[in-house]
């Protein structure tokens, strides 16, 4: 990989993502929406969420004083890394800015069905651990509902009602089922739709928005169809579609395996090592060349991480951009900024996670 490679999630991405909007039949984020999100998390105001369904309706409903909510889930099959946080940071930001409820389904059943070697006990263990990571983000306990399929088993009642309206053929098409896959997997599409509609089952009919990666849109569409079935008579859920979060290596989607992951449990030394060793740089090959040509922020992972997640100040980000592109700031200096930001975040996060244990009961829905 050389500096001339343009990563798919940035320059090429600009093109691909437009294509994806066309392909999936979704709507680009409008100025109206951008304006409403101008005080939100960088993920929402810097173009990472680039497409939507009915999010304008969500905003309008909110401005009319109607109830709105956010729903975003977690499939717990491992300890969480930074990439996993993306939809939850969005949910928290929407809660902070619009005062709305946030629903977080924990699909331990899905992971159990899909991961061959994941035991039932492990699925429960990861749920417990991941839930603490989510609470540590600072959600409002009065407005946040975390429900785990193997704990809040009443979700089965809702999933069953939906399951009656999804044929195996339909589920097969949307979820790529094959006859050799287990029947838990066959049923899961109903459970997922139940998660997405749960805010309305739990409260009342209203628009709930789902922040998802664009490739998840077919499931949203399936659920939107179900919502308006006469059995349910609910609002179609809205969606906010994200680009893929790059891995440290610069790949287009932060994968769950490999070395390019920063776990929420990593210590400062580990983070420093990982960023320095693995974070794909848009800098030049030598200091001399870098001083002359400057770095490419479009492909530089440390810069992208600052932009997406770790530098909330637009002014500071712009300053870093100019210094890096002009060659004034070196790759090592840029990485040092990110390392410090991440370690500050993780230090707080790890402390908050210990605190979270005390508040668990305030967040967890029980049968």
Sites of contact with its own copies (CB under 8 A): 109, 112-113, 119-120, 149-150, 153-157, 160-161, 163-169, 171-172, 177-184, 186-187, 189-190, 231, 367
Of 160 and 354, nearer to its own copies (C-beta) is: 160
Of 189 and 327, nearer to its own copies (C-beta) is: 189
- Degrees (nearest 5) of the Cα angle 102, 103, 106? 140
**Both structure tokens of 286:** 């030598």
Give me the least distance between CB of 261 and its own copies, in Å please: 27
Give me the least distance between CB of 161 and its own copies, in Å please: 5
230 within 8 A of 92, measured Cβ to Cβ:
no
Of 164 and 291, nearer to its own copies (C-beta) is: 164
| Residue of 38, 140, 147 whose CA lies nearest to 91 | 140
Give me the least distance between CB of 214 and its own copies, in Å please: 25
On the 0-12 / 13-18 / 19+ scale of CB atoms within 10 A, 27 is: middle
Residues 12, 18, 21, 24: is their CA dihedral positive or negative?
negative
Give me the least distance between CB of 221 and its own copies, in Å please: 17
Give me the least distance between CB of 180 and its own copies, in Å please: 5
Rounded distance between C-alpha atoms, residue 325 and residue 276, angstroms: 19
- In angstroms and rounded to an integer, the radius of gyration of the C-alpha atoms of the chain is 21
Of 187 and 303, nearer to its own copies (C-beta) is: 187
Of 22 and 230, nearer to its own copies (C-beta) is: 230
Cross-strand partners of 213: 242
Rounded distance between C-alpha atoms, residue 105 and residue 357, angstroms: 18
């Amino acid at each position: 990989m050389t500096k001339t490679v343009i990563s798919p999630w940035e320059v090429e991405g600009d093109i691909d993502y437009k294509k994806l909007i066309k392909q999936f039949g979704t709507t680009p984020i409008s100025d109206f929406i951008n304006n409403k999100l101008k005080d939100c998390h960088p993920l929402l105001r810097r173009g990472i969420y680039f497409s939507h369904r009915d999010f304008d309706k969500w905003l309008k409903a909110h401005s009319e004083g109607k109830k709105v909510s956010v729903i975003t889930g977690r499939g717990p099959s491992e300890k969480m890394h930074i990439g996993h946080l993306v939809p939850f940071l969005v949910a928290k930001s929407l809660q902070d800015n619009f005062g709305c409820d946030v629903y977080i389904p924990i699909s331990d059943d899905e992971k159990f069905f899909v991961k061959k070697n994941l035991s039932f006990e492990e699925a429960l263990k990861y749920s417990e651990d991941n839930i603490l990571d989510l609470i540590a983000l600072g959600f409002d306990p009065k407005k946040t509902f975390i429900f785990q399929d193997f704990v809040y088993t009443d979700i089965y009642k809702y999933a069953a009602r939906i399951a009656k309206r999804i044929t195996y053929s339909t589920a097969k098409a949307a979820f790529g089922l094959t006859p050799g896959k287990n029947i838990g997997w066959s049923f899961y599409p109903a459970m997922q739709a139940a998660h997405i509609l749960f805010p309305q089952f739990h409260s009342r009919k209203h628009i709930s928005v789902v922040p998802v990666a664009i490739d998840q849109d077919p499931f949203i569409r399936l659920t939107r169809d179900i919502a308006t079935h006469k059995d349910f008579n609910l609002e179609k859920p809205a969606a906010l579609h994200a680009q893929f979060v790059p891995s440290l290596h610069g790949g287009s989607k932060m994968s769950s395996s490999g070395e390019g992951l920063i776990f929420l449990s990593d210590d400062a030394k580990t983070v420093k090592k990982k960023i320095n060793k693995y974070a794909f740089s848009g800098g030049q090959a030598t200091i001399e060349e870098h001083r002359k040509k400057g770095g490419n922020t479009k492909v530089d992972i440390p810069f992208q991480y600052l932009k997406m997640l770790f530098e909330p100040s637009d002014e500071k980000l712009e300053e870093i951009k100019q210094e890096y592109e002009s060659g004034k700031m070196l790759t090592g200096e840029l990485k040092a900024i990110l390392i410090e930001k991440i370690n500050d975040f993780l230090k707080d996060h790890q402390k908050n996670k210990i605190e979270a244990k005390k508040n668990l009961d305030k967040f967890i829905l029980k049968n």
